[in-house]
């Protein structure tokens, strides 16, 4: 019993420690990105006098918000028991959405010239993207906040986004978005380190979390096919390791190897989405639709970039990255909240609670059998006791019948 509890506790504690580390790294990345906010505000014609003191407090606030948003219910209960303030679930979801909205808005601000052709300019683009992504992540976080795998991978994806923002803020590469997204990792300085380290950690995190991310989808209630669970986990791990390879081999070091890693990630993602109906017999319909829609969007983006020249490679890479991480987050959120999974988990909890509640009452209402000598009665003693009970029962019936007879 104790060994089983320890086996369950170890991965939970490991994920909690990983989330704390990721929140700290995201706070550091946010502080680095905030160093460029004053100059960007000046470019927009705004007063940036207050923003010069933003980096350190801003990074601390981001880290604290994410620690609260990603904390488990047990941690929240411990903090509350010590008399410290805690946030309710909705406020924690809003905290997560605010951070994601800020990432989207800063991403537009750091690449403002690329949005000059958008109606309304970069200001409208930042507002629309920030509000849209923020609202979506609030709803998603609120529905999936109870699941360790979602809360952990949400921070993994956020680390990649914030690392990219930090690199955008301090990169000396100029208008990098006119070339490709990987240009952020080519300057051989702190900006390149922010981008490359973030993508390596995010890729390794994805590969390491592959069994956790796919746990609910390959559960018995979804009808996994033979070898389907292993195939899906291998593909998710391949995506993560390929992304890590993109960061380990910058495009200026070896373009061919860098592109091989990028193509391997795209290919593994395509196979995982196409074969979703082959990995499990009963995948959630919403997730199945989203899988095929993600693949269709990636193909359309490739055609728009390579065939029609509607946008450059940077836009295509951002779309591809977003689809991969969005697909994995949706996998956890939709499968963990699937009706079969919810019914099974709630039924299991209620059965356990009923069994635990019955056990003390049974023990209290059923005294141990004894024959007065502290030992169990023999079969002969048991038969004699049964005869005595029968005789007493007959006597009670006879007395009741005689009492009911008229005089």
pLDDT of res. 1 = 40
Percent of the chain residues topping a pLDDT of 70: 79
pLDDT of res. 331 = 84
pLDDT band at 131 (very low <50, low <70, confident <90, very high): very high
Taking residues 366-384, report their average pLDDT: 60
pLDDT over threshold 90, residue 45: no
SS (H, E, C) the chain: CHHHHHHHHHHHHHHHHHHHHHHHHHHHHHHHHHCCHHHHHHHCCCCCCHHHHCHHHHHHHHHHHHHHHCCCHHHHHHHHHCCCCCCCHHHHHHHHHHHHHHHHHHHHHHCHHHHCCCCCHHHHHHHHHHHHHHHHHHHHHHHHCCCHHHHHHHHHHHHHHHHHHHHHHHCCCCCHHHCCHHHHHCCCCHHHHHHHHHHHHHHHHHHHCHHHHCCCCCCHHHCECCCHHHHHHHHHHHHHHHHHHHHHCCCCCCHHHHHHHHHHHHHHHHHHHHCHHHHECCCCHHHHHHHHHHHHHHHHHHHHHHHCCCCCHHHHHHHHHHHHHHHHHHHHHHHHCCHHHHHHHHHHHHHHHHHHHHHHHHHHHCCCCCCCCCCCCCHHHHHHHHHHHHHHHHHHHHHHHHHHCCC
pLDDT of res. 406 = 53
Least reliable range by pLDDT among 125-139, 186-200, 254-268, 368-382: 368-382
pLDDT of res. 178 = 84
pLDDT over threshold 60, residue 24: yes
pLDDT of res. 2 = 32
pLDDT of res. 39 = 61
* pLDDT, greater one: 61 or 362: 61
pLDDT over threshold 60, residue 7: no
pLDDT band at 159 (very low <50, low <70, confident <90, very high): very high
pLDDT over threshold 50, residue 87: yes
pLDDT band at 164 (very low <50, low <70, confident <90, very high): very high
pLDDT over threshold 70, residue 368: no
pLDDT over threshold 50, residue 57: yes
Taking residues 104-124, report their average pLDDT: 83
Least reliable range by pLDDT among 177-181, 382-386, 397-401: 397-401
pLDDT over threshold 70, residue 355: no
Least reliable range by pLDDT among 52-61, 67-76, 288-297, 322-331: 52-61
Instruction: Name the pTM for this structure.
Output: 0.74
Tens of pLDDT, residue by residue over 274-333, are 888 888 888 888 888 888 898 898 888 888 887 887 777 787 888 888 888 888 888 887
Taking residues 333-341, report their average pLDDT: 59
pLDDT over threshold 80, residue 205: yes
Structural domain boundaries in the chain? 19-170, 174-338
Least reliable range by pLDDT among 114-128, 172-186, 191-205: 114-128
Taking residues 66-80, report their average pLDDT: 85
């Amino acid at each position: 019993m104790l060994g089983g509890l320890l086996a369950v506790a170890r991965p939970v504690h490991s994920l909690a420690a990983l989330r704390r580390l990721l929140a700290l790294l995201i706070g550091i990345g946010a502080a680095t990105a905030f160093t460029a906010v004053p100059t960007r505000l000046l470019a927009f014609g705004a007063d940036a006098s207050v923003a010069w003191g933003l980096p350190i407090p801003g990074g601390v606030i981001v880290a604290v918000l994410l620690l609260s948003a990603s904390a488990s219910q047990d941690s929240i209960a411990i903090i509350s028991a010590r008399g410290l303030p805690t946030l309710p679930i909705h406020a924690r979801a809003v905290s997560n959405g605010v951070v994601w909205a800020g990432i989207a808005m800063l991403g537009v601000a750091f690449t403002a010239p690329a949005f000059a052709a958008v109606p309304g300019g970069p200001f409208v683009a930042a507002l629309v993207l920030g509000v849209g992504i923020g609202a979506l992540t609030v709803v998603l976080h609120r529905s999936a906040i109870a699941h360790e795998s979602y809360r952990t991978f949400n921070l993994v994806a956020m680390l990649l986004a914030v690392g990219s923002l930090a690199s955008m803020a301090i990169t000396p590469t100029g208008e990098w978005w006119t070339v490709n997204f990987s240009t952020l990792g080519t300057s051989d300085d702190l900006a390149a380190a922010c981008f490359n380290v973030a993508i390596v950690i995010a890729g390794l995190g994805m590969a390491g979390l592959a069994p956790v991310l796919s746990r609910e989808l390959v559960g018995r209630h979804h009808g996994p096919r033979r070898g389907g669970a292993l195939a899906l986990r291998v593909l998710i791990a391949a995506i993560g390791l390929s992304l890590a390879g993109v960061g380990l081999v910058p495009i200026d070091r070896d373009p061919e190897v860098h592109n091989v890693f990028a193509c391997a990630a795209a290919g593994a993602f395509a196979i995982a989405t196409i074969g979703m109906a082959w990995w499990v017999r009963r995948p959630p319909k919403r997730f199945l639709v989203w899988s095929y829609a993600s693949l269709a969007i990636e193909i359309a983006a490739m055609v728009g970039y390579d065939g029609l020249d509607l946008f450059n490679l940077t836009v295509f890479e951002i779309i591809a990255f977003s689809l991969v991480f969005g697909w994995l987050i949706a996998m956890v959120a939709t499968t963990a909240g699937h009706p079969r999974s919810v019914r099974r988990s709630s039924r299991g909890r209620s059965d356990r609670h009923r069994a635990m509640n019955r056990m003390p009452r049974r023990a209290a209402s059923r005294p141990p059998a004894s024959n007065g000598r502290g030992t169990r009665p023999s079969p002969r003693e048991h038969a004699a006791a049964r005869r005595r009970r029968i005789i007493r029962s007959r006597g009670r019936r006879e007395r009741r019948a005689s009492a009911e007879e008229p005089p």
